[in-house]
Structure 1
């Protein structure tokens, strides 16, 4: 879909503002055990894949975009041998397998009760997965060919920590029909919004806030149902960064069935609050 505002699982070349329909507990977990292991387990993507397979954890998380290395059995065996050697050299594995804490975190990532996913296109592409179960949390952060696995407490705070610093953008919340925003081009945004039926004042304000916005991120939340199947709910939270600061992009549907898009300035506190609300919605929906 063409346009400026993107809220979907998209490639880096996709415009910033398109529709969200294609993307993949009332009490959200906020506490963990009194002692939190803060070690950063830095893995290559191949090492992560080898450990995941050795632990018998089925498919790797889609959000991390990890292709299984090795086209042939011989290549795969060589990759596994090199990975285990490197892990042992860095004391991330021993004769009996991976470091117990690292194995625990990998199991959390594979079988969570609640989950947050981040897809970001800043000056680099970043993917993150925060997963929680029974008060414990794990974060996997992928950049380029590395995956950093750490323990975490609050899942929203863990995802927020993956964001680069940014000031709250100027302006106020601005709402226009979602269809108008999705079809509007990057250039001439104000005119396109007015032509699509958006009020002139709202179109002008939104165009001003969005000017120069090129970096974006998307957060989605999932909760496990009674069978342990993760289900996404609550929509997609878009985060837009530009020279004027940071803005949130959300969508809602009115009683008449019309979908609306809202762009609003946001600081870290507001972003964390919205991420926590998103997670609570997903967990609550899965438990119904």
Structure 2
């Protein structure tokens, strides 16, 4: 990946507004700085002075490569995004928000962590890898793949994946074999250290989005697990929970995108 820019949330807010790109896309949370017109003007002036010195703006205008990258994030054809907590003990301070967006062969990775936002060029064929690479590396946990009706783990198949380790119920346990119950217990009972979800959105030329069933992931002391929802041959949505390291997650996400296209 090739770096484009790293800026504060306040600077990003000013640049985004000046490019007239509308509201920042999901999953980002970019606050609007300055409660009054005068305060907003002071912030804008300070941001421009800093960005002009860095070459981000030229005579008050956003440099073309940066403007192009931000416009791509605002209006992609396909987007993979994540909201992830990389340390559940640290809560908000460890929240990761990111999106890998592509339009044609052009692709950009945008990452929001803490008070900073960064943009990087990436490859349109590496959207899944760009997102998964942001997660803390770890091995796949022990266990094996288990599939069960999506409704039993709170997964609706609407593009917002449920967190399976939080949603398995007595009803779930009663609906699978004893061997599957043991496998699920191995994967889902230990304390969660990190967790998140990865979503997939396909956009038409009017900006309307079709969300695909995404992927949930979580880490415990034994390793990493993920779950996905897919339509079975019986017409029913099935949730699959399984161990998975980064390479398996990238492959599964790529498979989902290829099928949807």
Tell me the TM-score normalised to structure 1 length: 0.76
Pairing of 1:1-288 with structure 2 (within 5 A): 38-123=2-87, 124-153=94-123, 154-182=126-154, 193-194=172-173, 196-210=174-188, 211-225=190-204, 227-254=205-232, 258-282=236-260, 284=261
| Contact 2:226–2:241 (Cα < 8 Å) also in 1 | yes
- Deviation digits for residues 238-288 of structure 1, max 9, x if unmatched? 111111111111123445555432111112221111222233345x2xxxx
- Deviation digits for residues 39-90 of structure 1, max 9, x if unmatched? 2411111111111111121111131111222222122212211211221233
Residues in 1 aligned to 2:112 and 2:259: alpha-carbon distance in whole angstroms: 26
| Contact 1:177–1:198 (Cα < 8 Å) also in 2 | no
Q: 1:223 to 1:252 in 2, by over 3 A?
A: closer
Tell me the TM-score normalised to structure 2 length: 0.84
- List gaps (5 residues or longer) in structure 2: 88-93, 156-162
| Contact 1:214–1:241 (Cα < 8 Å) also in 2 | yes
Aligned length: 245
The residue that corresponds to 2:160 in the other structure is: none
After TM superposition, give the deviation of residue 143 of structure 1 in Å: 0.5
Residues in 1 aligned to 2:118 and 2:165: alpha-carbon distance in whole angstroms: 35
Structure having the larger proportion of residues in strand: 2
Residues in 1 aligned to 2:109 and 2:164: alpha-carbon distance in whole angstroms: 36
- List gaps (5 residues or longer) in structure 1: 1-35
| Contact 1:116–1:279 (Cα < 8 Å) also in 2 | no
Residues in 2 aligned to 1:231 and 1:67: alpha-carbon distance in whole angstroms: 23
Q: 1:244 to 1:98 in 2, by over 3 A?
A: same
Residues in 2 aligned to 1:274 and 1:174: alpha-carbon distance in whole angstroms: 15
Residues in 2 aligned to 1:102 and 1:69: alpha-carbon distance in whole angstroms: 21
Q: 1:174 to 1:134 in 2, by over 3 A?
A: same
